Amino acid sequence: MKFQDLPLLRSLLDAVEQEGYEQPTPIQEKAIPPVLEGRDVLGCAQTGTGKTAAFALPILHLLTSNPPRSGRSGLVRTLVLTPTRELAAQVGASFDAYGRHTQTRTAIIFGGVGQVPQVRALRGGAEVLVATPGRLLDLINQKHVSLSAIEIFVLDEADRMLDMGFIHDIRKVVALLPKNRQSLFFSATMPDDIRSLADTILRENPVFVAVTPPAATVDLIEQQLCFVEKQEKIGLLVHFLQQPSANRSLVFTRTKHGADKVVQKLRKAGIFGQAIHGNKSQGARTRALDGFKGGITPVLVATDIAARGIDVEEISHVINFDLPNEPETYIHRIGRTGRAGTQGIAIAFCATDERPYLRDIEKLIKTHIPRLDEYPHRSTVPAPEPTDLRSSRPRQPLVQTKPGGNRRRSSGGQGRRRPR
């Protein structure tokens, strides 16, 4: 499909061409037509899939083609809520870029900086407002913003919003929106709590659109598996992190509390690491990430949602300290190493109670993760037989792993893989 096949205004197609986009991404192909028809959309897509243009282009089309429903110009007609100021700035910049040949103006508001320039931008008659929840509620309370003329509401990265504790703020904002509106709800994952939130925001029968993330290039990633019990995981982690090759390691835990605990225990062992998760302030997250990118912090301990925005090249090790309970997450995690053609190692720790997760992961990737043979703190519980890889749940394979395609590099001298 070409952009020209989508019924978008010429001015928007020109802007897209100037951006250098040749064809719509899958989420754009799927979401743009229903948004143009005025339907509510429940979108399962993560950053990097082109989801911003998937909602910004049809919204700009609708705002430009239709006069304000309120009959009054100068009021905000579209509200986009985002979890972080970086995302707000990015989404705002996208509306500006795609709308450069239209009259639509965008204002961006987020916390942590002075509100005066933001209020001034609002007074300039912005029709699109991109905001983080806290600052938006502040400005509403101060009567600088009214949501009474909103025609389209977008909730972006809903799962990250919940992870960062914004649920009450979201509910307060939604309560202030006109009932008669179009709503677009985007989230990278769709667990039950996100679906229930979506049910309270969207009208009945929204259009569901989903895209799978780009397949990870797992060929370049050496995967290893260690059976280790919970209380021994720190000792094993220290063992791997002490190897000279582990110069930039990303460690995944299932919970925020777990991430903090790992960082504390590593410090006791003389290894400097920092945690990154939804309970950390924006400043703390930025500092941790900058330290990791700059090579000052050799270890970053992250939860999945917080790690999503991390785009750091040359991560030497991805360590699954806890196995994820959603098997697709394993692929997202290990895809963070082996980028830009560099080789990386992905090590997974599996405690006895995590063996069902391992089974699901191996069924999804359709391969057995090579078991390391010798390593300290090895579980004394006998290792399970490799699982039958025929999946009982039909799932779409996200990656093709070559049988035996993971054996390019040794684990740094300590481990030897058992022949399979």
Nearer to ligand AMP, 22 or 204 (CB): 22
Write the DSSP assignment of 192-228 as a string of letters. Answer: HHHHHHHHHHSPSSPEEEE-PPPPP-GGGEEEEEEE-
Residue 132 binds to ligand AMP (criterion: CB under 6 A): no
- Name the minimum Å distance from CB 45 to ligand AMP: 7
CA 312 to chain centre: 14
Among 51, 239, 332, 336, the residue binding ligand AMP under the rule CB under 6 A is: 51
Q: How far is CA 156 from CA 169, 202, 225, 312, in A?
A: 14, 13, 35, 23
- Name the minimum Å distance from CB 338 to ligand AMP: 21
The size of the interface with ligand AMP (CB under 6 A), counted in residues, is 11
Among 25, 286, 343, 379, the residue binding ligand AMP under the rule CB under 6 A is: 25
Helix (H, G, I), strand (E, B) or coil at 353: helix
Q: Binding segment for ligand AMP among 46-54, 74-82, 290-298, 311-319 (CB under 6 A)?
A: 46-54
Nearer to ligand AMP, 49 or 367 (CB): 49
Q: Binding segment for ligand AMP among 43-51, 244-252, 303-311, 333-341 (CB under 6 A)?
A: 43-51
Asked if 193 and 374 count as a contact pair (C-beta separation under 8 A), the reply is no
Please count the residues of the chain. 420
Q: Binding segment for ligand AMP among 19-27, 233-241, 369-377, 411-419 (CB under 6 A)?
A: 19-27
Residue 49 binds to ligand AMP (criterion: CB under 6 A): yes
Q: Which of residues 170-229 bind ligand AMP (CB under 6 A)?
A: none
Q: Binding string to ligand AMP for residues 287 to 326, with x set by CB under 6 A, is what?
A: ----------------------------------------
- Identify which of 283, 31, 89, 12 has the alpha carbon closest to the alpha carbon of residue 3: 12
Q: Which helix or strand (DSSP H or E) is residue 381 part of?
A: none
Among 48, 191, 235, 397, the residue binding ligand AMP under the rule CB under 6 A is: 48
Nearer to ligand AMP, 90 or 286 (CB): 90
The span from the CA of 299 to the CA of 295, in Å, is 9
Nearer to ligand AMP, 24 or 278 (CB): 24
The residue written with tokens 């972080």 in the block is 84
Reported in sequence order, the residue ranges of 261-343 that DSSP labels E, i.e. its strands, are 273-276, 299-302, 317-320
Among 6, 15, 24, 315, the residue binding ligand AMP under the rule CB under 6 A is: 24
- Cα angle 5, 7, 11 (rounded to 5 degrees) comes to 100
Q: Binding segment for ligand AMP among 18-26, 125-133, 282-290, 354-362 (CB under 6 A)?
A: 18-26
- Name the minimum Å distance from CB 11 to ligand AMP: 17
Among 26, 50, 68, 134, the residue binding ligand AMP under the rule CB under 6 A is: 50
Q: What are phi and psi of 346, to 5 degrees?
A: -115, 115
The residue written with tokens 């599996």 in the block is 350
Which amino acid, residue 5? D
- Name the minimum Å distance from CB 57 to ligand AMP: 9
Q: Binding segment for ligand AMP among 20-28, 108-116, 156-164, 166-174 (CB under 6 A)?
A: 20-28
- Identify which of 187, 215, 211 has the alpha carbon closest to the alpha carbon of residue 199: 187
Among 11, 13, 21, 405, the residue binding ligand AMP under the rule CB under 6 A is: 21
Strand partners, 155: 81, 185
Asked if 410 and 375 count as a contact pair (C-beta separation under 8 A), the reply is no
Nearer to ligand AMP, 26 or 68 (CB): 26
Nearer to ligand AMP, 28 or 303 (CB): 28
- Identify which of 270, 338, 324 has the alpha carbon closest to the alpha carbon of residue 299: 270
Among 53, 158, 305, 345, the residue binding ligand AMP under the rule CB under 6 A is: 53
- Identify which of 357, 353, 415 has the alpha carbon closest to the alpha carbon of residue 229: 353
- Number of Cβ within 10 Å of residue 251's Cβ equals 26
The span from the CA of 79 to the CA of 63, in Å, is 12
- Name the minimum Å distance from CB 253 to ligand AMP: 26
Question: Residue numbers of the site for ligand AMP (CB under 6 A)?
Answer: 21, 24-25, 28, 47-53
